[in-house]
Amino acid sequence: MIYIALPDEKTRLLPFYLAMEEYVAKMMGEEDCFFMWQVNPTVIFGRNQLIENEVNQDYCRNRNINMFRRKSGGGCVYADMSNIMFSYVTRDENVNFTFNRYINLVVNVLCKMGVDAKASGRNDIMIDGRKVSGNAFYHIPGRSIVHGTMLYDTNMENMVGAITPSDAKLVSKGVKSVRQHIALLKDYTSMDIDEFKTYVRTNLCDSEKMLSYSDVDEIETIMAEYLTDEFIYGKNPSYSLVGRNRIEGVGDIEVRMELRNNVIRSINVMGDYFLVGDIDNRVLRPLRGKSLERQSIESVLPEKMDEIILNLKRDDFVTLLLTQKEQRSH
Helix, coil or strand: residue 232: helix
Positions in the chain whose pLDDT score sits under 70: 93, 165-178, 235-238, 324-330
Do 182 and 132 meet the contact criterion of CB atoms below 8 Å apart?
yes
Nearest one of 7, 27, 15, 12 to 89, comparing CA atoms: 27
CATH T-level fold of 2-233: BirA Bifunctional Protein; domain 2 (3.30.930)
pLDDT of residue 277: 86
Question: What digits encode the pLDDT tens for the residues 168-204?
Answer: 455 444 556 667 788 999 999 999 999 999 999 999 9
pLDDT of residue 88: 95
pLDDT of residue 165: 58
Residue 177, φ and ψ in degrees, nearest 5: -65, -45
CATH T-level fold of 241-329: Enolase-like; domain 1 (3.30.390)
Give this prediction's pTM.
0.85
Pairing status of strand 124-127 against strand 130-140: antiparallel
pLDDT of residue 168: 45
Nearest one of 89, 79, 207, 82 to 147, comparing CA atoms: 89
pLDDT of residue 236: 65
| 306 Rama sector, left if φ>0, alpha if ψ -120 to 50, beta otherwise | alpha
pLDDT of residue 167: 46
Strand positions, DSSP E, 113-162: 117-120, 124-127, 130-140, 143-150
Do 224 and 250 meet the contact criterion of CB atoms below 8 Å apart?
no
Q: What are the domain boundaries of the chain?
A: 2-233, 241-329
